[in-house]
Amino acid sequence: MHTKYLDLLAQKYDSEEKVVTEIINLEAILNLPKGTEHFVSDLHGEYQAFQHVLRNGSGRVKEKIRDIFSGVIYEEEINEMATLVYYPEEKLQIIKNGFDNDQELHEWYKENIAHMIKLISYASSKYTRSKLRKALPDQFAYIIEELLYKTEESANKEQYYIKIVEQIISLGQADKLIIGLAYTTQKLVVDHLHVVGDIYDRGPEPDKIMETLINYPSVDIQWGNHDVLWIGAFAGSKVCLANIIRICARYDNLDIIEDVYGINLRPLLNLADKYYEDNPVFRPKTHSDKKTSDHEILQITKIHQAIAMIQFKLESPIIKRRPNFNMSERLLLEKVNYEKNEITLNGKTYPMENSCFATINPEQPDQLLEEEQEVMDKLLFSIQHSEKLARHMKFLMKKGSLYLKYNGNLLIHGCIPLDEEGNMEKMMIEKQTYAGRDLLDIFEHYLRHAFANPDKTDDLATDMVWYLWTGEYSSLFGKRAMTTFERYFIKDKETHKEKKNPYYYLRENEETCRSLLTEFDLDPEQGHIINGHTPVKEIEGENPIKADGKMIVIDGGFSKAYQSTTGIAGYTLLYNSYGMQLVAHKQFNSKEEVLRNGTDVLSVKRLVDKELERKKVSETNVGEELLQEVAILNSLMEYRYMK
C-alpha cells in the first residue's frame, strides 16, 4: 500500500492504541447480524401510503412489539402501542383527551415510557451502542441511555431511575420524550431502504416523498421510467418535459408543476385557450379527495391537448436523426390523412376521433408553431431554474442508478432486454454493439452525461434519455412501442396494445433468472432479481414470487390508478439476517383511519427465502467495505507500529 496514504491515515490514528481499538471495533461489527433491508417500488407520488409503510417498517414495528409483549398486554394495547410509534404526535393527543385527570395520565406516561424503552432495547439489540446513540433524539440521548442500560440487579439505583421518569413528566417533557422514542424505533427496525423505481407521476405528492428520502439515514434508488422522464426534463430534453406536463395534466396533478416546483404554466394555458376546445378523451382523471371545478377541468383539458400535440411534434426529429433507435414507424403525424381524418398503420386504415390538430401543418406535421417553440423555451428555462426541483434531481442522481448489486441481489426497476430465445437483445450505439449489463451501463453513461450538460438539448445523450422512456430496447420501458397516440385518437383497442419484451414471460423461468444473475457477476444459487415496474395482478391469481424464488416483483400497485386491476395496494420486501419476506398491503385510506382503528393495512407475509445460517454483516456490501478498512488498518499497524 502507498506509504503516503498510510502517513495521512496515521494523522487520524496517531497511536497504536487507536488503531487497535478501531480494528477490534470493526471486527466485532462484522460479526453482528446483518441489518434489515426494506424494499419499496412504484410509489408514484402516493406519499401518505408510503409514509405509513415507512413508519411501520412493513409490519416490523408491530412484529417486535408482539415479540416482547405478546401475552403481557392485550392485542388492543399492542395495536395502540404500534400506532403510537407510527404517529406519536397525533396518537398522544387522542390518548390525552381520554383521561379524566392528571394522575391517570401520569401513570400512563410511566407505563408507556417503560414499554417504549424496552422496545428500543430490543430493536437495537443487533446494533452497536454507537449506532444506537446516533439514532436517539439529541435532547434526550443521555437520559434514554441511562434508562436503556438499567438492569434487574440495579436495586441500588432504583430510586434514581424512578426519579428520572418522574422529573420528565413533572417538567412537561413526557410527550417530547415519547415522540423521540417513537421516531428512534422507526429508524431502528429498518437498517437500509431500497426504492426500486418510479417515485414520480400519477400520485399527488412525489415532492414529499423526495424530501423524506433526502432526510432518510440510509437509502438507494434504482431509477424508474417515470423518474428518468423528470431527470431528462431537467437535463434539457423538451420532449421529456412535454411528457411530464402531459402526464400531470392527465392525472390532474399540474399543481406539482406549478405550485410545488414553481413552473409558470400561464404561457401554455394561453396557447391552449387559443387553439383548443373541450375534448372528452383529454379530460383529467379526477381524484375523489380533490375538488376540481368545471372551469378548471376545461382548462386542464385544453392544456392536455396542447402539450400532447407538442410532444408528438418533438418526437419526430429525434426519430429521424437517430435511425439506430429503430422507431421510424412511430412517425405517426406523417401517417395521418388530415382531410379524411384517418390514419394508416401497418397497412390498415383507421378512422380517427377526438382530433385536435389545429396547430398541425399537414405539409410539415412535426413543425412547431413559433408560439409553441416560445412556450417550450420558457418552460425549459423555468424547470432548469427551479431550486427545489434541482435539489430533488441532484439527489436522484447521487443516490440513483439503473441497477444495483446489493448483498448478492440484483435490483432493477424494469428489465434486461431479451429476445424470445432468452438471449440478450443487442443495440448499436455509435457503431458499437451493446447487450445485457453493458447496454445498461452505456444507458446510464449517457443519462449522467446529459444531466451534467443541461445546456445541450439535442445531443445523443439527451435523446438517449428519451429513448429510455419509450425505446424498444430500453431496460426501463421494456415494450415494442408506446401507443399513447393511438389511445388518444383511435377507437380500435387492437392498436392500443403494447407488446412486452420477452423478459416479462421468460423471468418466470428459473434458468433465465440464473443466467441473468451470472451476467451481473452474482451467485445464481444465492441471488435474487428484484423488479418493480409491472403491477402484479394478484386479483387474477398472479404470483409476485417467480422462478422458484429467483425473481420477486414488488410493484403491486401503490398507485391508486392500478388498484382496481391489481386487487391490492402494493408489495414491499423485507430482508433480514433470517431471510426474505414479501408483504402485501391492503389499500391505505387515511392516517385518521389508522389512528382510529389501529389497522396496519398489511394483508399477508410470504416467506421468499430462509437463510440456513443467520447472515452476518461480514457477508454484506457494508461488510466488504469494513473488511477493506480492517486490511488498511492492519497495513498501518505493520508500517507504523510493528517495525
Residue-wise pLDDT for 37-57, tens only, equals 999 999 999 998 899 889 988
- 56-80 b/e with 16+ CB inside 10 Å = b? bbbbbbbbbbeebbeeeeeeebbbb
pLDDT at 161 over 90: no
- Alpha-carbon span 498 to 516, nearest angstrom: 24
pLDDT band for position 74 (cuts 50, 70, 90): confident
Mean pLDDT of 398-410: 96
Give the DSSP letter of residue 335.
G
Q: Contact at 8 Å (CB) between 415 and 478?
A: yes
Q: So what's the pLDDT on residue 207?
A: 97
Q: Calculate the average pLDDT of the chain.
A: 90
Q: So what's the pLDDT on residue 195?
A: 96
Q: Minimum mean pLDDT among 146-160, 227-241, 396-410, 560-574: which range?
A: 560-574
Higher pLDDT, 410 or 59: 410
Q: So what's the pLDDT on residue 6?
A: 81
- Alpha-carbon span 585 to 535, nearest angstrom: 13
Q: Minimum mean pLDDT among 11-25, 207-221, 272-286, 331-345: which range?
A: 11-25
pLDDT band for position 637 (cuts 50, 70, 90): confident
Q: How many CB atoms lie within 10 A of CB 287?
A: 14
Residue the block writes with cell 494523522: 11
Q: What percent of the chain has pLDDT over 90?
A: 62
Q: Minimum mean pLDDT among 338-342, 374-378, 561-565: which range?
A: 561-565
Q: Contact at 8 Å (CB) between 451 and 397?
A: yes
Mean pLDDT of 528-545: 81
- Alpha-carbon span 192 to 184, nearest angstrom: 14
- Alpha-carbon span 501 to 519, nearest angstrom: 18
CA separation, residue 155 to residues 122, 158, 470 (Å): 22, 5, 69
Strands 342-345 vs 336-337: parallel, antiparallel or unpaired: antiparallel
Q: So what's the pLDDT on residue 569?
A: 64
Q: So what's the pLDDT on residue 151?
A: 61
Beta bridge partners of 434: 427
Helix (H) or strand (E) holding 394: helix 387-399
pLDDT at 564 over 80: no
Strands 602-610 vs 37-40: parallel, antiparallel or unpaired: unpaired
Q: Which tens digits make up the pLDDT trace of 577-620?
A: 888 888 887 776 677 777 777 666 555 566 667 666 788 998 89
Q: How many CB atoms lie within 10 A of CB 295?
A: 8
- Alpha-carbon span 643 to 640, nearest angstrom: 7
Q: So what's the pLDDT on residue 566?
A: 53
pLDDT at 640 over 80: no
C-alpha cell read off for 235: 437535463
pLDDT band for position 258 (cuts 50, 70, 90): very high
Residue ranges of alpha helices (H) inside 507-555 are 510-519
Q: Which tens digits make up the pLDDT trace of 461-487?
A: 999 999 999 999 999 998 999 999 999
pLDDT band for position 421 (cuts 50, 70, 90): very high
pLDDT at 297 over 90: yes
Q: Contact at 8 Å (CB) between 43 and 198?
A: yes
Residue the block writes with cell 439529541: 138
User: At a CB cut-off of 8 Å and minimum separation 6, what does 623 contact?
Assistant: 30, 34, 616, 617
3-class DSSP state of 205: coil
- Alpha-carbon span 88 to 98, nearest angstrom: 15
- Alpha-carbon span 438 to 444, nearest angstrom: 10
Q: So what's the pLDDT on residue 152?
A: 56
pLDDT band for position 539 (cuts 50, 70, 90): low
